Every structure is written in C-alpha cells, then in structure tokens.
A and B are shown apart, each in its own frame.
Chain A
Amino acid sequence: MKKIIFLILFFVVLIIIPADKIQAAQYFVGIQIESASAPAPNGTNNNWCLPNGTTIEIKTDDGYTTLSSTEITKVGCTGTILWTNLVNLVEGVNYEIVIKPVENLWSGQPYCFGYNGGDFLDICWAVAQDNMNCTDTCAYYNSDATGSYEYQEPSLNCEIESFLMGEDCSSCETEATYNYYNSTTKECWSSNQWVSIQQNVSLGVGYVRVCQCTFSNTYDVIEFTFDFSI
C-alpha cells in the first residue's frame, strides 16, 4: 500500500513541476562596441576603446549576485565583439551587465590613469611631438604640465613609455631627470625624481619626451552598466 502511495506521490510531483516551466539555458553574452564616444580628459568627446584586462560581469538586476565574470584579454574598439564565459540564464529574469575597464578608458593620447593604487588620479601621459617640450605638449591637449608627479615606479614609467611609443623598451633605465624615449636605441628612460621635471626642456632629434599632464576634469574609472532580460 505504501509503495502505491509513494508511486502516486511521485507522479503528482512530476505533474506539478514540469521541467519545461523552469527554463535555464547556457548563453554566451556578447557585447559589440558600436562607434561611440565618451568624455575625454581634454573636455571633448573622443572615440574610445576598452583596454586589455577589462572585466565583463553578468549580475542579477539588484547588482548583488555576480553570475559570471570574464576578463577580456584584448583591446575592444569599435566593431569588436567581447564575449563572456558561458552563463546560465533563466527566461523572464532581469539581469545587468557591468563593463569594468581595468584602469582607464583608453581613447588614444593622452593616456590617462583613472586609478593607480589611489594616487595620481588626474595624471595623463602624452608623447611630445616634433621636438616639443612638455609644456607645449600638454597645452596641445588643453592641459597643464604637471609640477611634481613624474617619478612613480621606474618599471611603470617604462611600461607606459613602451605603450605610448608602440615599441618594446630595449632596456628600462632609471637614472634620468625626466621620462623620455630614445628612438634610436629604443631605451626607455625613467625619472628618478619627484620634482624638477624641467617641463620646458625639449630634447634633440631621436629623443622623445614622455610627458605627464594634468586635467581639470577628474577622470575616474568608468563602469558601464545596462540591463537586459531574456
């Protein structure tokens, strides 16, 4: 008798909770970057790219539960599709996507740090063109040359120089008065001083100053969020 009751209960449960009612499926969520612009530090709107290392999170719409977190290992510019890892989503439920650039939103020069361990929030970097000094270079981007921030970490300075020049550093020299790049030997030179940047000095042909500029607009990390449901 008990067996029959259990059997009946089993079928009742099957009828009450049909599997189709809860539809969860595995999705790849793609973010295709359209031509877009965002405020740049110089006050204008620039086309932007998401830097390598950007994280895309899929969250519940209350923002508390992260269902998927994907680190993107390429630069995402106009037209690029950034794919998340596989994520289980349920029909009829609302979610949100949060795009977190790792440090900054890169929109070409000047290259600005939104966050760097809490310091130097407003510093942007620019390569001096045509034998320019840093005062003129920063003015070109509607900003002022910094007074005292040039020295950070030599390895970081060299890394930024390498990024801005689009070349690997043949070596990272750390005993310079200011940051510059030797385009003949491809040596990256990092300042070892906090002050005396000598912004008005321009170097000779083949030596490129890599300048730090300040901007009146604070340029913090920008997170993008948008909601969706399936």
Chain B
Amino acid sequence: MVALGFRNAARSAPRLVAVTLLVGAGFFLMLVMHTIGRAVEAHTQALQRSVDATLQVRAAGSMGHVNMVAQSDILPPGALDKVRAIPHVEKVETYLLAMTPTEGHNFAMVVGFNPGDTKRLESHGEAGTGKIIAGRDLTGADRGKRVAVIGQGFARWAGIHPDRLPAELTLDLTRTHPVIFALERPAAKLSIVGVYASGYVFGDMQLFIPLDTFREIYGVPQGLSWLYVKADSAASVPSVERAIRAALGDQADTIAPTSVAEFQTTTTRSVLRLTAAGMALSALLLAVIVYFVMLLVVRQRVREIGTLKAIGAPNGSIAAAFLAEAFAYGLAGSALGLLLYFGFGAHLAKQAFALAVGPFIPAQYKDTQLDVLRVSAGLDAAQLALIVAVVALVSLAGSAHGLLHIVRLSPLQAMRQE
C-alpha cells in the first residue's frame, strides 16, 4: 500500500506540479533560513576567534606614563593579583611606560614589559605589535639586563643602523618636553639588540626594555602603567570587565571591546531567533499546504477508501498509502526546494544576512566581516537526514486530519457516495 501511495501522488499531473511548486518554495525558504542561521553562527565563531578579547586596565584618569605631565598615576601594587584571580582571565600582560623627548617626532615611548609578551604599540590608541626586522627580540634571559629592541623610527632618530647591531643608546631622564617632566635619575645606557617595524609611524617610535630594567632605570619599584587582560573568549569579556570594575573600583579605568560582546549577545541571538522562527513558519506553511492537499485528496477518494475497506483493508494500510502520498508530495517539493537552494540559496541567504545583520555590525567590522562572510549552500549527510525527517514530520502533521477522517469513515458511508 505504501507503493500505491507513492503512485497515487502521480495520479494527477497538475496537482503534483502545483503541490511540488508550493512545497518547493516553502522548503527553499526553510533552507535559506537554515543557511542564514548557520552563517550567523559561523560568523560569531569567527568573531570570537579573530576579535581581540583583551581589556586594557590603567590608573583612573591617567595614561600611566611615569614622567608625563598630569598623567603619571599608575596602578597600585596588588592590582595585578586581583585581576589575575578573576574567573575567565586567561592571561595578564604588564607594562610600565615612560616618555622621552625627540626632535621631529616630539617624543618616543619607553615600554617596560616581560620579554615574550606582546610588544604592544602605544600610539593614538592603536594597540598592535611590531615585527623584528633586524637583530633579535628580547627573551627571558634578558630580564634585568640593560638591553632593548627599538622601533625603526626611533632608531633612525637615534642614529642606530639596523645593520650595525648591537648599538648603544643613552636615555637621558632629565630631558623635558611640554608634556614630559624631568626625573632626577642617572642616564641609562642601553644595548640595542633588535629593530622592529610596525608599519605605522608612531608605532615605530618605541623602545622595549625588560620590566625590571625599566623599574631600575626609572626608579619605579612597584605599580604598573597598564594591564592587558586577555579573557578566555569574547563571550567572557563582559563578565571579566564587570569583575575588574568590582575588584579595582575607582582606582582604575577599564577599556573593553564591548561592541564585540554586544554584537555577539544581541545581534547573533536575535538573528538566530529570527531564522529559527522563519524555519518554523516555513515548516508550518508546508504542513498547511500538505493539510489542504490531503484533505482534497481524501475527499476525492472517499469511494476508493470505502472500496478498500469493503475488501478488507485495515485502516493502517489505507492510512499508510495516504501518508506515503503526502510524503511523496513532500519529497517532490523538497527536491525542487533543494535545486532552487543550490541554484540561488547561497546568494539569497547572503543578501538576506547582509540586510538583517548589517545594521547591527560595528562599523569597524562591517567591511571586512561581510566581505569575507562564507555563506555556502552546502548540506552534509546529517542535514540531509534532518531534511528527510522534517519532510516526514510535515507530511504526518499535514495528513493527520485526513488520516483521521479515513479511520473514522465507515465503508458504507464511503460506498454511499458512489
């Protein structure tokens, strides 16, 4: 009887075509929604992987440069331990900063850090890293030593040629500038072992030295200018930020990439809900289509149902035939939907995604993330199995009323419609 059900689907060619088109369109929409949802999830994961989940902490109201006019407050002792104890904090990098006057570029930065940590560039709020282009980088063995790596801009000002390393550089802490005050400390001679380039003019005006060397030169036995706090994921950023504020109170300012977190927690969730609702609506639409088609089919075949009952067909066999017919309509429609999907699905999903998500994406990500967004119309075996399951479920749901009518129909009632 199941075979008969599949054959019955082809009894009326116009009906088969109409149902296939209707179910196919609904199914196509469902697949597009699914693709958008998948793209949003992938997009979020990419953001989580690629976006900097790092917060910056510095003394409240201060740049934290130890010799900068009105900006020399640094984080108090104990701040580091408090931050390290916060859940979801993966790593904390510590920095001490000072400034030294230069001609032409006004001043350069002197950064004390732990060799091996990121050489962050303090320049107009940009935080990046430099690449060693000559000599070598600092290592753990350099701790406490008077060694440094220098940005190529600073090196040029100081007359240090990348091909002639190591070279010597003297830091004169008594020199001043409108925003730099003198420190009555002895001049410090440093051995320049490497030159880095950042591709950014102000980024190249820095000098990296070991943190303990910095403390000794500048006479800062404790406290820190900046902490770079790396959360274990972008999702943890908000909670880490709250914990830092709670731990350090008014002592510190925290700068967090909240836009990423906001994107993740609001946009992604909203779009996922929208696509889930769209899929549910599409499935409902399919069920409604199947419902009306099967209602029509059952009414048209009442006499046939009566005949089958009269010759001894159990209700289950008749219902199986009609369910198979509904499933056949679903399969034909889903096949068309799949064809449309592979033809136009990815394009439509990308457009819909851009329309839906675009307004929520922070400006700095819009150009890159949308362009590199991977929206593909691929389906794996598990997704295909899910599709078959959805078709079966929708067929069952849409046929339920018709099947109930079949079961309740007595053979005589059916025969009387002869």
Do the two chains bind?
Answer: no
Q: Interface residues, chain B, CB within 8 Å of chain A?
A: none
Q: Interface residues, chain A, CB within 8 Å of chain B?
A: none
